[in-house]
Structure 1
Amino acid sequence: MDTFPQELVDQICTHLGPEDPKFAYDISSKFRNAAEGYAERYKSCHIEITEMTRKSHVHRFSSFRLRYIETVDFRPFFPDLEVDDVYSCRESSIERQEKDRVFSHQIHDLFATLKTIEERAGGRNRGSYRLRIYSPHRWRSHRQCHHREQEHWRTHLLGHESLPTLTSVASLEIRNDGSSYERANEVEAKLDYRILVDMVTRCPNVHELKCHLGVDEWTPSYCEEPARSYVYEYDGPRRDARHDFDKATTVANVPTSLRRLELDFLCRSTMMDADRIHHWTAMPNLVAPTLVDPFSNSLRILSYHLRELTLRAQVDENLFWPSDGSAPVWPNLRNVFIMFHMVSPSGSWYFEGSRGEGRESVGFEVTESSYPPLETTEEDKFLDSDADEGQHSFEDMYYYHFRISPNERILRPFLESFAKAAACMPKLSQAILWCPLRWNVGGGDDEKNENEAFDYFEPPENFYPDYLAWALAYYTPGKAAFATNPGDVNCDARRMWWKVGEWRPDPHLHGLFQQIGRREHGEALREYWDDEEFGHGLVSRNYFDFWTPDE
């Protein structure tokens, strides 16, 4: 058989079924190579690793069948938490430690199982699958008070440095998007953000990293007490998660194979609350005590080797440009889609009212009081008593939205950094930068109704108050994103769409944007300031739903 031409052997192996490669192994080395190669055509297996399936999956896929695996799902779980006292409102330090231990143990077992499969399959049969890990969940007891309906502390991964490397993971996805709420009486854990980095660094051949996180980080604007005291997340753990992410991220440990990031920290279930916050509300400073936002800074480090970046997060100018003034380069980045929240990480707002209302709002300091207590307080007992009597008014929310004009002091540095960075992306094909906005000054009860202060505002034609967007887009010649003038679709000029209402950049900032793609595509540039449907007004978010993940 060794005398058979390789082309003939390859042709014979095209007729093999999914279980036939094992019969070709003993014929000759040529048949083995061809059979293993053709096993790729059967890549359609979606498996879930559980205690019940672990051994069977090791037995079945520790061979050429490793190539069959397309997706591996893993759903960690927490043991049921017993609440003996009707007033057990708070998660104790012992519970926190146990959750970290249980979660870490399950992740280590998962990686060990997948490593065993790889080793038994051998280097000739390296797989290429998506590893999808869900947030742990626990049952919610009917005796638990409203304080326990959300997880206030983050769950951490312990001993990440001892995780084995998985060479077959091509895509890693972490999901914590509220999907478990579809299962009655379950609560999802909040995951520490650095878990993303700690896991992806153990996957040297990964080319895609995805997450859907941020659920329950933004507390709705409830009208009355005690509902307003039941926060979805305290500011302390939220701030710490962003800082811990930065501690785990360095240029040295980011896999050079990474080509695509889709990081969604404002998934749809999260955005329902994050989008409807009261616009006079003071926001926490998530940057201090550092001078620059560590979260934005670490996301930029992750982006250097990418070809595509999709991001939905609360970020600032450090996402695009380092604070030390050094000029970075993104040699391969082609597609950039970024949705940013209207509140900056420092707690200041990127937008203000039409006449400057709320312009000077600044973030408040995160202190020791910004963390949840570790044991039940007297206030907890009082609030739970009122809640049990039906006085919590959880269905009544008060929204007040007036920030639809750029706050130059906060937004301009963000835009300037973006423009400078985009000019350092020689292969950039398309870039979308946008922020969702709302207008609603007529809500609330009679005592809080301040809509008279905005009687001067006359909305333009085709004004969608609850579904607005402020955005800009850049496309290389020959590519079109929005409606253009006839004949412009395939024009040979760079193009930029300004969906920014009546706002206009100052000459210096405008000049920075005009440099994007100039070196690669020449001087020709067409800019569109008027929208076909909305004129000079703010556009509908429908333009940007394509870049908003469904999860």
Structure 2
Amino acid sequence: MGFLDRDKDYQSQAQATIQAEIQSSSLPNPMANGQHNLKVRYTVSLPHLTNPQESRLTCHETAEETTYVSTHISSRIHSLFSQLKLTAANSSTLGAHGNEGLALSIEVATQTFDSYLDCDHRSYGGVCGLYDVRPLSLLVPLQCIAALPKLTTLVLPWGWELPMTYPSPSTPVREHYTRPWEGPLRDTRHEFGNAICEQEKLLSGRRIPASLKNAMLHFWKKQQIPLEDQSVARPDLIHPAERDPFSVGLCRLAMQLERLDLCAMVTEELFPATREAENQQWSSMQRLRIEFHPLRSDGMWYFVGPRGEDPLHSEISEDDREGGFHISETKDYPRERDIPADQEIDEEFDEYPNGDSELDELTDMFRTEPHRERIEPLLERFAAAVACMPRLKDAEMFAYVWWAPSESRGEEYACDAPYEQDSVHKWGVRYLAGRDSDGEATTPVVQWEIGDWRPSTGVMELFEKLGSQEFLAFEFTEGRPWPTTDDAMRARLF
């Protein structure tokens, strides 16, 4: 086995981490009006991956190795929670922090390698800067919070999703070396949604605490520069299910929340249906912000090109349902063993690391116009959900759309390009309940940032029932603003 554990005494290390944090937080925080705030930051290490001359690693990680890493991570998290439980039982230790509670931050370290390890099958993220990041199952954060019965706030800065693969000109990089595999992505999304809907069954007899009221859940990695090819086929992450388990699970979770900041690839099933009973609505919600990915969970897109370009929109699956390609058990999962073709692929990459010079420029982000039949069900369910939130103060739903076409597409538009090259803007709608300076209720407002496009009459009527309508101009930027946790704080989501 090519792993080296560098923290064999992890139980003592977890205890030492907690004690150090207790000591460092013993002094009053001047920003907290003299209150004591206990914050525990814990980093889960990963075993070091070795590749000795006398026992070279295979190109592909085996199931045995993956199991080893999973067990390693689980043991460290279990140890942390055990030490927290022991610390909590010591009333004298936590006496100064009892009212404010505990802020627990868990980070997973990156995968470390021997410096001479040279195999692109052994990288994980598939994007520059993320090669050493091991994606975890989305069950991990759910299992963690189910063990915290008094949890009030959950922050997930990145749920390890990369909906679009990196547009490399090299065929080995795109199709053979490690990348965000479609099969595991679908599986973990299904596991996440199903675990929320069947908590005791799938969370080892535990439940998500009813005390959880605030959540910031950012599942996919947002790029600040255009790096995607929106013309390539994407998988159907719903099939074989009839409904998107991921969206349905998030809908169920939001029923108990008061504040939600969500960044996810979803369908309209994210929102409760109007026919659902009152106890199935988001009646406790006060502040809501949703950034949806332009790509849907079923492999279709919410947006098309300015001239209606929608590559792959007519892709027909085996069950006659329009959507993305069905995930293959052989092609869309990482292999566990080497095959003879691996050597040929490596030789091709060594000879042509940048691919065929005749390939078009691979970044091709052109989907800027809403596809009415796909976007309106999402808008309709959003409006209906907002109407059932009596305590709501602010709700926003939006996507960022780019104009960064490929070289050939840019030449087709020439002087008729609708936007400046590499420009990005927000497309969406926002509801403001309305309060004057004295806190008195005023007329609610619905603000649109949708350009010249307008929803159909039936959808528009739903929003008109919510308040007066305002149509705002797009705000263009060169590159996407970097989202931070501070953004959520400033938006008073937490």
Range into which the TM-score falls when normalised by the shorter chain: 0.7 to 0.9
Partner of 2:490: none
Aligned match of 2:151:
206
Partner of 1:31: none
**CA distance, structure 2, for counterparts of residue 540 and residue 494 of structure 1:** 26
- Whether 1:235 and 2:182 are equivalent positions in the alignment is yes
Aligned equivalent of 1:367, options 312, 328, 346: 328
Q: In 2, distance between residues paired with 1:453 and 1:406?
A: 21
Query: Which of 454, 469, 475 is residue 413 of structure 2 equivalent to?
Result: 454
Amino acid at match of 1:506: S
Aligned match for 1:329, one of 257, 267, 281: 281
Partner of 1:522: none
Q: Secondary structure at the match of 2:261?
A: strand
Counterpart of 2:334 in structure 1: which amino acid? P
What is the deviation of 1:90?
Answer: 1.0
Partner residue, 2:192: 245
User: How many Å separate the matches in 2 of 1:469 and 1:251?
Assistant: 35
Counterpart for residue 355 of structure 1: 307
1:76–1:137 contact (8 Å) kept in structure 2: no
Q: In structure 2, the residue corresponding to 1:346 is in which secondary structure?
A: coil
In structure 2, give the amino acid aligned to 1:472. Answer: V
Aligned equivalents of 2:436, 2:482: Cα separation in 1: 16
- Equivalent residue runs for 1:97-136 within 5 Å: 97-121=67-91, 125=95, 127=98, 128-136=101-109
Give the drift of 1:335: 0.8
Tell me the residue number matched to 1:143.
117
Residue of structure 1 in register with 2:214 after alignment = 260
1:407 aligned partner: 371
Note the aligned Cα RMSD (angstroms): 3.6
Look up the equivalent residue of 1:219 and give its one-letter code. Answer: T
On the 8 A contact 1:267/1:549 being kept in 2, the answer is: no
Contact 1:352–1:358 (CA under 8 A) maintained in structure 2: yes
Determine whether 1:439 maps to 2:403: yes
- Over 3 Å counting, the alpha-carbon distance change for 1:178 and 1:544 in structure 2 is closer
Q: Identify if the C-alpha distance between structure 1 residues 79 and 140 changes in structure 2 by more than 3 Å, giving closer, same or farther.
A: same
Contact 2:423/2:479, CA 8 A, preserved across alignment: no
Task: Look up the equivalent residue of 1:295 and give its one-letter code.
Answer: F
Larger deviation: 68-77 or 506-515? 68-77
The amino acid across from 1:144 in the alignment is: D
State how far apart, in whole Å, the 1-side matches of 2:327 and 2:273 are: 24
Q: Is the 8 A contact 1:316 1:344 kept in 2?
A: yes
Q: Is 1:381 aligned to residue 343 of structure 2?
A: yes
Q: Name stretches of at least 5 consecutive residues in structure 2 with no aligned partner.
A: 1-8, 28-34, 200-206, 315-322, 488-494
Q: What is the CA–CA distance in structure 1 between the aligned matches of 2:57 and 2:86, rounded to whole Å?
A: 46
Residue type matched to 1:331 in 2? S
d(CA) in 2 for partners of 1:323, 1:104: 41
Q: TM-score, normalised by structure 2?
A: 0.79
Residues in 2 aligned to 1:106 and 1:504: alpha-carbon distance in whole angstroms: 52
Partner of 2:230: 279
How big is the shift at 1:115? 0.7
Distance (whole Å) between structure 2 residues aligned to residue 450 and residue 542 of structure 1: 19
* Pick aligned residue for 1:528 from 458, 470, 473: 470
Deviations 1:285-323 (A, max 9, x none): 001111111111111111112111001111111111259
Using the alignment, how far apart are the partners of 2:434 and 2:480 within structure 1?
Answer: 20
- Alignment partner, residue 476 of structure 1: 433
Q: Identify the structure with bigger relative contact order (alpha carbons < 8 Å, sequence gap 6+).
A: 2
Aligned partners of 1:213 and 1:547: how far apart in 2? 11
CA contact (8 A) 1:308 1:333 kept: yes
Q: Distance in 2 between matches of 1:189 and 1:113?
A: 25
> CA 1:221–1:550 in structure 2 vs 1: closer, same or farther (change >3 Å)?
farther
CA distance in 1, matches of 2:210, 2:111: 36
Q: 2:413, 2:478 → 1: CA distance?
A: 26
Closer/same/farther in 2, CA of residues 544 and 414 from structure 1, 3 Å limit: farther
Q: So what's the TM-score if we normalise by structure 1?
A: 0.72
2:458 to 508, 522, 526: 508
- How far 1:434 moved relative to its partner? 0.8
1:100-155 superposed Cα distances (whole Å, 9 cap, x missing partner): 11111111111111111111227983741111111243212332311212168xxx
- CA deviation vs aligned residue, 1:200-230 (integer Å, no higher than 9, x gap): 1111111101112244723211123333233
Q: Which amino acid aligns with 2:49?
A: L
What is the aligned partner in structure 1 of residue 139 from structure 2?
194
**How many percent identity over aligned positions?**
25
AA partner of residue 454 (structure 1)? Y
Q: Unaligned regions of 5+ residues in structure 1, if any? A: 1-48, 153-176, 444-448, 481-489, 517-524, 532-537
| One-letter code aligned to 1:425 | M
Q: Which amino acid aligns with 2:332?
A: S
CA change 1:541–1:440 in 2 (3 A) is: closer
Equivalent residue letter for 1:245: F
Contact 1:76 1:134 (C-alpha < 8 Å) held by counterparts: yes
1:36-115 matches, cutoff 5 A: 53-56=13-16, 68=36, 70-84=38-52, 88-115=58-85
For 1:220, the equivalent position in structure 2 comes to 166
Q: Tell me if the contact between 2:46 and 2:72 (Cα under 8 Å) persists in the aligned partners.
A: yes
**Matched pairs, number:** 441
CA distance in 1, matches of 2:165, 2:368: 21
Q: Structure 1's 450 and 546: CA in aligned 2 closer, same or farther, altered over 3 A?
A: closer
Correspondence for 2:475 among 539, 544, 549? 539
Would the alpha carbon gap of residues 329 and 464 (structure 1) be closer, same or farther in structure 2, given more than 3 Å must change? farther
* Alpha carbons 2:153, 2:215 under 8 Å: kept: yes
In the alignment, which residue of structure 2 is the partner of 1:160? none
Mapped partners of 2:417, 2:423: distance in 1: 15
